[in-house]
């Protein structure tokens, strides 16, 4: 049988190749039916004569050699079939490699989708990729921010006050608008600074966060310019008219003019505005310029029970400037002081003989000896 296969290799190859179908998925071999099966002389060579098998009839050729059995689904594959299948597989692999090479594009990535997408669609997908990254990144950052806001060690746990605060600690925190336990990521230091600067007794202020949970408030109060006396109580007064606290005991570093208020009033606390800022600033400037302008100094300023302002000089006379209860009345002090300057050019204000000078009407200055 093997000798017969050598004698007719061409016919066997031709018969086998006719039943192989090459497709995009590979090669498929269909089994031969009995009608399509080649004769025995073509399959096994001339050494085996063709014979017919019948019931009770001997086979032609003079021998009783039986035909080899075949499988029900087709006759056996041989080496030629293996070579054909290998060749088909190699060709399919080559085509697949060429297709993959043709589909390479930006970034060295390969598209294995079928059919190949147009270039504009690929460009659109490349543009959508950053959008997908951002759509994932933004929620992640939002979740991380919410977690950070709720972390206990990032909350305001301590408040440190630097500088010299006129008011108490609790009042300072309330005036600044500090919220204990608030996340330091939400603290608006600019708003805290503006709240402190809006206080009448504050000259400079700043707010800063010291991580992880400390808030630092630095304040500098205004310097005192007057001593505000109310009965037996005396307070330091800033140019804004705010009370800076009680007058400390002991000698003062620099003498300050005294503003005596005879109007009845309740005790004052630090930070409270005692007199209008325009009046306090004007009196502080007047006390410094009075000796050069009038030749005498100011012993004290006096606010009477009816709200009139009086100036007691070191020469013993008193100048009555009229009421100073409103802003317009305070603004009218300038012409009255100019009338006093004109009087000083005519009358010796240093000498005795003058008791009271009435300046309520600057056009009619009255001197009472």
pLDDT tens figures, 143-154: 777 666 667 778
Same structural domain for residues 348 and 258? yes
Same structural domain for residues 235 and 313? yes
Same structural domain for residues 27 and 74? yes
CB 310 within 8 A of CB 319: yes
Residue 12 or residue 197, greater confidence: 197
Query: Mean pLDDT across the stretch 99-105?
Result: 67
Same structural domain for residues 233 and 357? yes
Flag whether pLDDT at 140 surpasses 50. Answer: yes
Which pLDDT tens digit goes with each residue over 38-54?
555 555 454 444 444 44
Flag whether pLDDT at 119 surpasses 80. Answer: no
Output the average pLDDT for the chain. Answer: 79
Query: Mean pLDDT across the stretch 216-231?
Result: 94
**DSSP 8-state class, residue 107:** G
Flag whether pLDDT at 300 surpasses 60. Answer: yes
pLDDT tier for residue 32 given thresholds of 50, 70 and 90: very low
pLDDT tier for residue 120 given thresholds of 50, 70 and 90: confident
Same structural domain for residues 249 and 358? yes
Query: Mean pLDDT across the stretch 114-142?
Result: 70
Flag whether pLDDT at 17 surpasses 50. Answer: no
Domain total of the chain: 4
Question: Which three-class secondary structure string do you get for 226-274?
Answer: EEEEECCEEEEEECCCEEEEECCCCCCCCCCCEEEECCCCCCCCCCCEC
CA-derived radius of gyration, the chain: 57
Same structural domain for residues 364 and 228? yes
Domain that includes residue 209, residue range = 155-221
- Closest residue by Cα to residue 242 from 191, 285, 279: 279
Query: Mean pLDDT across the stretch 211-224?
Result: 93
Predicted confidence at residue 48, as pLDDT, reads 46
Residue 200 C-alpha from the chain's centroid: 33
Cis status, amide bond into 115, omega within 30 of 0: yes
Which pLDDT tens digit goes with each residue over 232-252?
899 999 999 999 999 988 766
Same structural domain for residues 83 and 208? no
Same structural domain for residues 235 and 270? yes
pLDDT tier for residue 141 given thresholds of 50, 70 and 90: confident
Same structural domain for residues 178 and 207? yes
Last residue of a domain, one of 149, 174, 208: 149
Same structural domain for residues 272 and 346? yes
**What are residue 302's DSSP bridge partners?**
260, 310
The answer for residues whose C-beta is within 8 angstroms of residue 357's C-beta and 6 or more apart is 317, 318, 319, 320, 340, 343, 365, 366, 367, 368
| CATH classification at residue 354 | 3.40.50
pLDDT tier for residue 253 given thresholds of 50, 70 and 90: low
The Cβ-side half-sphere exposure at 73, using a 13 Å CA radius, reads 3
Predicted confidence at residue 40, as pLDDT, reads 52
Which pLDDT tens digit goes with each residue over 189-217?
999 999 999 999 999 999 999 988 899 99
CB 270 within 8 A of CB 243: yes
- Which string of DSSP letters, residue by residue, matches 172-188? HHHHHT--TT-BTTS--
| CATH classification at residue 199 | 3.10.20.310
Same structural domain for residues 189 and 296? no
φ, ψ for residue 30, nearest 5 deg: -90, 135
């Amino acid at each position: 049988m093997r000798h017969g296969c050598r004698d007719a290799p061409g016919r066997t190859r031709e018969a086998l190749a006719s039943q192989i179908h090459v497709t995009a998925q590979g090669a498929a071999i269909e089994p031969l039916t009995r009608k399509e099966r080649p004769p025995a002389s073509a399959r096994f060579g001339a050494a085996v004569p063709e014979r017919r098998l019948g019931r009770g009839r001997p086979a032609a050729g003079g021998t009783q050699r039986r035909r080899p059995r075949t499988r029900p689904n087709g006759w056996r594959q041989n080496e030629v079939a293996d070579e054909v299948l290998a060749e088909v597989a190699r060709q399919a692999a080559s085509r697949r490699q060429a297709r993959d090479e043709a589909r390479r594009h930006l970034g060295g990535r390969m598209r294995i989708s079928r059919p190949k997408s147009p270039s504009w669609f690929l460009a659109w997908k490349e543009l959508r990729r950053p959008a997908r990254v951002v759509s994932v990144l933004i929620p992640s950052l939002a979740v991380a921010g919410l977690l950070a806001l709720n972390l206990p060690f990032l909350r305001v746990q301590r408040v440190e006050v630097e500088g010299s605060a006129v008011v108490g600690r609790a009042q300072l925190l309330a005036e600044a608008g500090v919220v204990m336990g608030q996340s330091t990521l939400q603290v608006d230091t600019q708003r805290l600074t503006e709240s402190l600067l809006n206080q009448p007794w504050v000259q400079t202020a700043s707010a800063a966060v010291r991580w992880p949970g400390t808030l630092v408030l630095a304040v500098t109060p205004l310097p005192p310019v007057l001593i505000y006396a109310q009965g037996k109580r005396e307070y330091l007064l800033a140019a804004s008219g705010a009370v800076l606290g009680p007058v400390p005991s002991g000698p003062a570093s620099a003498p300050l003019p005294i503003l005596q208020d005879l109007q009845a009033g309740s005790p004052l606390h630090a930070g409270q505005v005692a007199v209008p800022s325009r009046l306090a600033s004007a009196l502080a400037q007047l006390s410094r310029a009075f000796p050069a302008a009038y030749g005498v100094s100011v012993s004290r300023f006096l606010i009477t029970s009816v709200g009139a302002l009086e100036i007691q000089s070191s020469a013993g006379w008193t100048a009555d400037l009229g009421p100073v209860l409103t802003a317009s009345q305070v603004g009218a002090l300038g012409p009255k002081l100019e009338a006093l300057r004109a009087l000083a050019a005519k009358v010796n204000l240093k000498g005795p003989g003058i008791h009271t000078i009435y300046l309520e009407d600057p056009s009619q200055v009255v001197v009472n000896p």
